Amino acid sequence: MAHKKPQRMNLRNRILNFEHWLSSDFKLAEPVIYQRELLKLFSENKDAFSYYRNWLFTLLFNKDEQEALTEFKNILDFKVGTSKHDQLLKHFLENNSSEIFSQKRLNAFEIALQAPNADLNQNTCFLYQQYYEIEILFIVLYSFITLNKSDKIEVELNKFRDRKSNLRKGVLIDNLKSKLRPYTLTHNLFKTAYNSKIRNVIGHNNYKIAEDIIESLEDNTIKLSKDEVYRAIYSIQSLNNNLLYYFSSKNKLNDNLQNEGILGMAFGLEEELPVLSIFQLSCFYSLGDFKWAQKIIFSIRNNQIVTNFGFQSPIIGLYSKELEQNWFSPLRKRKKLKIYLTPIVPRNEEADFITLDVGDFVVVEDGKRVDLEYEINKYEP
C-alpha cells in the first residue's frame, strides 16, 4: 500500500466535483478527481450513501462551524430520551422526511463555488428567495424550543398562519430570533440568514442591482453589498445543512449501517505473524459493533483473491507468490486470524495517509481487534 504523490485538489473541491456530477444525474463527464467512495456507496447501498454524503460535509467545517453545529444539535436534543422528544422526533421523521431530505435546495456545496467570484445578479436574489421559502427549518426549531421550555408538543403553529393556513414567515422569524437569543451561535447564524432588509427588497421585487450593490427602488434607503447577501445565503444554507445532518443522524435506517463503508484492507505482519487490517469509514464505524461472519473466507484463483469477512460486498485484490510465501503460508499454521477494523476519513492535505483503490484516507484511531477463524480456498486454473 505505497504512498503516492499528494493530489493537487483539496477535499472540498473533490466533494464539489462529485456533487455537481450528481446534480446532473451523472450526465456530465465523470470528473477526473472526486471522492470515489461516494460512487462505491451509491452503487452498493443508497441509505449508506445518503448517510455518508450528509456526514461528509461536516469534515469541511472550521472550528466555529463545528461549534455552531454542536449547539444546534443541543437545542434539538435538550429533552432527548423523554417520551415527548421521541414523539416529536418521530413526527418529523415520518411526516416530513421527503421534504427534509429532498427539499428545494441546491446541493450542500454549490454556493461555495459561487460566492467568491460570482457577480451579484438576479439569480443570486432568486437563490436567496428559494432558501427563504423553505419552511421546515422554522417549524422544527419552534417545535423543539417549545418542547424545551413548556414540555408541550406543537407542530401545527396555527397562531402563525393566515386565514388560508399559509405560514406567516416574517412573524415566525421574529419570534424565533427572540427565542434563540440564549443560543449565541445559532442566533447569530439565524439573524444573519434571515436579514429583514434583504427579505424586504428581494421578496417584494423592489430592487435594482448596480455594481454589486442591491438598492431599494423607491427611495434608495436600503443598500446591500454582495458580501452581505452571500453571507445571508450561506447562513441559511448552513442552518438547513445542520438540520439535514441532525435528522440523518436520527434516522432509524442508520441502525443497520454499522457494516457499511468498508473501503479496503491490507495484509500485514505483527511480530512476523499475519494480521489483516480492514478500513471502514469512521461515520459507520461509530454506529455500533460490526457484525462479523463466523469465519473469514479467502478465495484464490490465478492472480486474484476475493476476501469475504461479513455481510457486505467482498473485497477483490491481487494475489502473488510473495503474498502466499510471506502471509498465507505462516497463516496456515494458526487456527485464527488477527483482524483490526480501523476507522478512516478522506484525506484533505494531511502528510500521513494510506492509499486505497478509491483514494487516499487518514486513519483516525487504532482499530478494534477481533480473532476469527478462516478458510482458504485455492482454485487451480
- The mean predicted confidence, pLDDT, of the chain is 84
**CB of 300 within 8 A of CB of 307?**
no
Asked if the model's pLDDT at residue 1 lies above 60, the reply is no
Secondary structure E strands in the chain:
207-210, 213-216, 223-225, 262-270, 273-281, 292-301, 304-310, 315-318, 336-346, 354-356, 359-363, 368-379
- Identify which has the larger pLDDT, 46 or 300: 300
pLDDT of residue 274: 95
What are the cell numbers at 126? 432568486
Q: What is the mean pLDDT of residues 315-342?
A: 94
Q: What is the mean pLDDT of residues 329-357?
A: 94
What are the cell numbers at 237? 444554507
pLDDT of residue 71: 97
- Among all chains, which residue has been given the C-alpha cell 487456527? 335
Percent of the chain with pLDDT over 90: 50
Asked if the model's pLDDT at residue 213 lies above 80, the reply is no
Please write the tens of the pLDDT for every residue from 158-186: 999 999 999 999 999 999 999 999 999 99
pLDDT of residue 24: 67
- Identify which has the larger pLDDT, 128 or 118: 128
pLDDT band at 107 (very low <50, low <70, confident <90, very high): very low
* Window from 6-10, 139-143, 287-291, 308-312 with minimum mean pLDDT: 6-10
Sign of CA dihedral 77, 46, 132, 13: positive
pLDDT of residue 31: 87
DSSP 297-365: EEEEETTEEEEEEESSPPEEEE--HHHIIIIIHHHTTSSEEEEEEEEEEE-SS-SS-EEETTEEEEE-S
Compute the chain's Rg from CA coordinates. 25
Q: What is the mean pLDDT of residues 328-351?
A: 94
Q: What is the mean pLDDT of residues 1-6?
A: 45
Task: Single out the residue of 106, 108, 146 nearest to residue 127, CA to CA.
Answer: 106
Please write the tens of the pLDDT for every residue from 279-324: 999 999 998 899 998 899 999 998 999 999 877 778 999 999 999 9
Q: Which residues contact 128 (CB under 8 A, 6 or more apart)?
A: 198, 202, 229, 232, 233, 236
Task: Single out the residue of 103, 179, 110, 178 nearest to residue 136, CA to CA.
Answer: 103
Q: Which residues contact 140 (CB under 8 A, 6 or more apart)?
A: 76, 92, 243
**CB of 48 within 8 A of CB of 259?**
no
